[in-house]
Amino acid sequence: MAKIIDGKKIAAEIRNNLKEEILGLSKKIGRGPCLAAIWVGEYQASNTYIKAKARACEEIGMHFRLYHLQEDISLSEILSLIKKLNEDSEVDGILVQLPLPPHLEKNRIIEVISPKKDVDGFHPYNLGRLMVGEPTFIPCTPAGILEILRQEDIPTEGAEVVILGRSDIVGKPLANLLLQKKIANATVTICHTGTKDLYLHTRRADILIVATGKPKMIGKDMIKEGTIIIDVGIHRLPEGLCGDVDFLDVKEKAAAITPVPGGVGPMTVAMLLKNTVKAYKQNFHIQYDNEDL
Ligand code: GUN
């Protein structure tokens, strides 16, 4: 029976530590950190994420400003809002909730966010820094996954890590981080829709990270005995929430697995808070203790 990795608990601890830190810093600085979130349209999954982020901010004493924009907003309107927020000294972090409506190209928008306020870590400057081994803001889901591996003492040195999914948000930055010598020193494979023999790769993974967006696509026939599974997906099916992994099917064969819900999701939010506190401290030139990189 696999160990069920309690992401909810790890995330709660991180949030508690941040809450204490904010309490102390707010007194010195005169205000708490502030995260501004831009949400365009009515995509329902985004509504859930935005609510979770807002709640998490409020609980730790972080201001949360939501800019909920009409689906048909123009590129120039959204860019002027971002420029205004870049200049706003009361705002430490800015995020644009993805996905965006089809007429808005995400890269044209993300590149306008000030890299100093890019708490999602999606700006090309921050992604470039990550790639050369000097990360500033690490994208939140990859950062959450690294934190899980670290807190669970899962060895990564020389491990065969197989990532399913090559998104700009998860697969690509995570692969880059995991192959870095001082972070994980793993052997990393990314599989995607063009991969010829998926089973060949998934069956030799010591650590399998699944971010495909396809509900329950990984079953026990696709993994080796004792693998560690990190499930990034979340889907609402008539019978309830599930991930990209068929949890009940694999749980006897895997050594450890992140559940859905309560695995990677809460860690992503916790890392967003952490990045925002980092931006806030940098904004006020307080030395950031980069202890975990
Ligand atoms: N949509 C899905 N995940 C994310 C995320 O981490 N950040 C943003 N901004 N949008 C997302």
User: What is the Å distance from ligand 1's center to 97 Cα?
Assistant: 5
**d(C-alpha 108, C-alpha 75), whole Å:** 9
pLDDT at 261: 97
Give strand pairing partners of 152: none
Write out the two tokens for 258.
């992140």
Query: Which two structure tokens, joined as six digits, stand for 70?
Result: 């009409």
Task: State the pLDDT at residue 293.
Answer: 39
Question: Which residues' Cβ are closer than 6 Å to ligand 1?
Answer: 95-98, 120, 140-141, 169, 268
pLDDT at 285: 83
Q: How far is CA 197 from the centre of its chain?
A: 28
61 CA to centre of ligand 1 in angstroms: 22
Atom of ligand 1 at shortest distance to CA of 120? 7
Q: Look at ligand 1, atom 1, and give the residue with the nearest C-alpha.
A: 98
Query: Ligand 1, closest atom to CA 272?
Result: 6
CA of 224 to the centre of ligand 1 (A): 31
Residues 265 and 45: beta-carbon distance below 8 Å: no
- Which atom of ligand 1 lies closest to the CA of 139? 6
CA gap 141, 270 in Å, rounded: 10
Amino acid 127 reads L
Q: Catalytic residue numbers? A: 53, 97, 120
Ligand 1 atom index nearest CA of 95? 9
Q: What is the DSSP letter of 32?
A: -
Q: How far is the CA of 163 from the centre of ligand 1 (A)?
A: 18
Atom 6 in ligand 1: residue holding the nearest Cα: 140
Q: What is the pLDDT of residue 286?
A: 76
Identify the residue whose C-alpha is closest to ligand 1 atom 11. 98
| CATH number, span 140-265 | 3.40.50.720
**Nearest residue CA, atom 8 of ligand 1?**
97
Tens-digit pLDDT string for the chain (293 aa): 999 999 999 999 999 999 999 999 999 999 999 999 999 999 989 999 999 999 999 999 999 999 999 999 999 999 999 999 999 999 999 999 999 999 999 999 999 999 999 999 999 999 999 999 999 999 999 999 999 999 999 999 999 999 999 999 999 999 999 999 999 999 999 999 999 999 999 999 999 999 999 999 999 999 999 999 999 999 999 999 999 999 999 999 999 999 999 999 999 999 999 999 999 999 998 765 554 43
Judged by DSSP in three states, 37 sits in strand
- The CATH homologous superfamily for domain 28-115 is Leucine Dehydrogenase, chain A, domain 1 (3.40.50.10860)
Residue with token string 């050594």 = 255
Kind and range of the H or E run holding 48: helix 44-59
**Ligand 1 geometric centre to CA of 261 (Å):** 17
Distance from C-alpha of 244 to C-alpha of 260, rounded to nearest angstrom = 9
Nearest residue (CA) to ligand 1, atom 3: 98
**Could you tell me the distance, in angstroms and rounded to a whole number, from the CA of residue 143 to the centre of ligand 1?**
13
Q: What is the dihedral of CA 98, 161, 183, 166, to 10 degrees?
A: -20
Residue 136: both structure tokens together: 């500033």
Question: Which of 117-136 are b and which e, b meaning 16 or more Cβ less than 10 Å from the residue's Cβ?
Answer: bbbbbbbebbbebbeeeebb
Mutate which of 47, 49, 67, 275 for ligand 1 pocket (most atoms within 8 A of beta carbon): 49
Q: How far apart are CA 205 and CA 156, in angstroms?
A: 12
Q: Look at ligand 1, atom 2, and give the residue with the nearest C-alpha.
A: 98
CB of 163 closer than 8 Å to CB of 169: no
- CATH 3.40.50.10860 in the chain, residue ranges: 28-115
**Ligand 1 atom at minimal distance to the Cα of residue 141:** 6
Q: What's the pLDDT score for residue 287? A: 61
**CB-side neighbour CA atoms (13 Å) of 114:** 19
32 dihedral zone (left: phi>0; alpha: psi -120 to 50; beta): beta
Q: Which residue has the tokens 């806030």?
A: 280
Q: Where in the chain is the domain with CATH 3.40.50.720?
A: 140-265
Cβ atoms of residues 230 and 209 within 8 Å:
yes
User: What pLDDT does residue 279 have?
Assistant: 98
Helices 264-283 and 44-59 meet at what angle, rounded to 10? Answer: 60
